[in-house]
């Protein structure tokens, strides 16, 4: 399954549309007014499916992920001097590659690739192509990609 993650050009808060291979909107991400990032994910029918929320008042950035209102995991930045590093507590997944330059792969706890993410350059807004090996993982992969993107936006 391939998703195209595209940030909206004119929005006051972080907003994204997520399209499938044939150009249909399958998810919409809407930023909410809150302390820190709070990004709600809606399915094609307008139902809230997930949320990525920045945990504030922490020493280093931390993003919690919720699915159907229930906490499912988090990603938090670790202290390093040169190369940024993250601790991912999310279904036993890990991220490998150059995710600070927007090209990385996501692996499950058994070492099997779950998804590959790459940023498209030469676009006015953030645009990512996400190739997901199992369509059942689409929402979870999307939440992790949103959390990584939110951390990069905060850092910049």
pLDDT of residue 8: 62
* 105, 117 contact by CB (below 8 A): yes
Q: What is the mean pLDDT of residues 36-54?
A: 93
**pTM (two decimals):** 0.88
Average pLDDT over every residue of 60-72 = 92
């Amino acid at each position: 399954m391939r998703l195209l993650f595209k940030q909206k050009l004119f929005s006051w808060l972080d907003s994204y549309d997520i399209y499938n291979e044939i150009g249909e909107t399958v998810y919409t991400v809407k930023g909410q007014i809150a302390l820190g990032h709070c990004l709600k994910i809606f399915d094609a029918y307008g139902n809230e499916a997930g949320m990525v929320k920045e945990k504030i008042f922490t020493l280093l950035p931390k993003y919690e992920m919720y699915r159907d209102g229930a906490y499912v995991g988090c990603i938090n930045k670790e202290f390093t001097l040169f190369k940024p590093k993250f601790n991912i507590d999310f279904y036993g997944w890990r991220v490998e590659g150059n995710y600070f330059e927007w090209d990385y792969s996501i692996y499950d706890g058994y070492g099997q690739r779950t998804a590959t993410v790459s940023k498209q350059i030469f676009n006015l807004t953030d645009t990512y192509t996400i190739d997901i090996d199992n369509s059942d993982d689409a929402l979870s992969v999307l939440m992790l990609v949103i959390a990584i993107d939110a951390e990069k936006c905060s850092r910049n």
